[in-house]
Amino acid sequence: MSACPSLGEVGSERPTEALISSTDVETRPMPSLLSSHLALLAGAAVYSGWNIIAALTLSDDGIDPLAFSTARELMAFPILYAVAAIFESPLKFPKSTKDRFLFAALGFVLGAFQLCFAFGVALTDAQTAALFQCIEPTTAAFLAAALRTERLTFSALLSALLAGGGVALMQLLDSDDDSDDSNDAVSMSVSRAVGSGLLFMQGVGIALYCIIQGRLLNPPGADEANGATGRAAKAPGQAYGPITVIAHAYIGSTSVIVCAGGVASAVRADASAPFSIRTIRSLLHPLPLLAVAYAV
């Protein structure tokens, strides 16, 4: 018969050890710094190719951005749920009001910044979209500092000034090279300005998405266990895998984009409407299908 611990022994137990030993907390190995950087590099490479394909589809071929985004969303979230069921089974669904609110906000932000990208690249080009992606990390740093979720360091501030200044300078030089007094040139300049604004808002949306996603993947209370064990902890009621979080978010983003397409179709009510037969047929060509598959 084992002896029960004394009150002094129980009281001397450190909080992090008590948290780690709790049966309510699940842990999984944290990725190394090298693997995290390689994953980010691979994601940047994929995204750069996506800029080119999206520009060719949305700008050159004139595919409707809402129709394209709807097709991508409808294809993406079933695949995400299938992958999550394979690698993160059993799937966790939000039960608390807080989690449901966070997933609703995550889905809305995801749909909003995807629409900003689709319309932004349609009004500009792949190079402009890639340039604005260069300032997304610094946008995230400023937004996290404003929301008091992270501290803005001097290096982050300096990189923000360099990245933002470089993008602004390249856009200014590009506009000077294309300067013309004709009405078409003025219209083109206005379209590029609107598209650039949308691409910037895409960066703000991505930053918000990352902050909200972090609240679901790393809930309060998990940091103490992480620091003591070097493993990523899943707190009670928050045991969502990263793929599951994205899959849940895509339900909200799909709803946002479908609603936007439905409103646009009702307003236009002609052959160029996002959900018209003509627009849907325009998607059934090799390049648009390749772009949708690449996006998924």
- The ranges assigned to domains in the chain are 69-172+189-220+238-295
Residue 23 corresponds to which tokens in the numbers above? 């049966």
Q: Is the pTM of this model over 0.85?
A: no
Answer yes or no: is pLDDT of 287 > 60. Answer: yes
pLDDT of the residue at 103: 93
For residues 260 and 47, what is the distance between their CA atoms, to the nearest angstrom? 24
3 or 250: which leads in pLDDT: 250
Q: How confident is the model over 171-203, as pLDDT tens digits? A: 666 655 555 555 555 566 778 788 888 888 888
Q: How confident is the model over 107-125, as pLDDT tens digits? A: 999 999 989 888 888 888 7
159 or 26: which leads in pLDDT: 159
Answer yes or no: is pLDDT of 242 > 50. Answer: yes
Query: Nearest Cα to 197, choosing from 129, 138, 105?
Result: 129
For residues 111 and 250, what is the distance between their CA atoms, to the nearest angstrom? 8
Q: How confident is the model over 157-176, as pLDDT tens digits? A: 677 677 666 666 666 666 55
Q: Which residue has the tokens 């951005």?
A: 65
Calculate what percentage of the chain has a pLDDT beyond 90. 10
Do 82 and 199 contact (CB within 8 A), yes or no? no
Q: How confident is the model over 59-92, as pLDDT tens digits? A: 666 788 888 888 888 888 888 899 999 988 888 8
Sequence-ordered list of residues with C-beta below 8 angstroms from that of 41, at least 6 positions apart, any chain? none
Do 244 and 84 contact (CB within 8 A), yes or no? yes
11 or 67: which leads in pLDDT: 67
**What's the whole-number mean pLDDT along residues 222-229?**
48
pLDDT of the residue at 176: 56
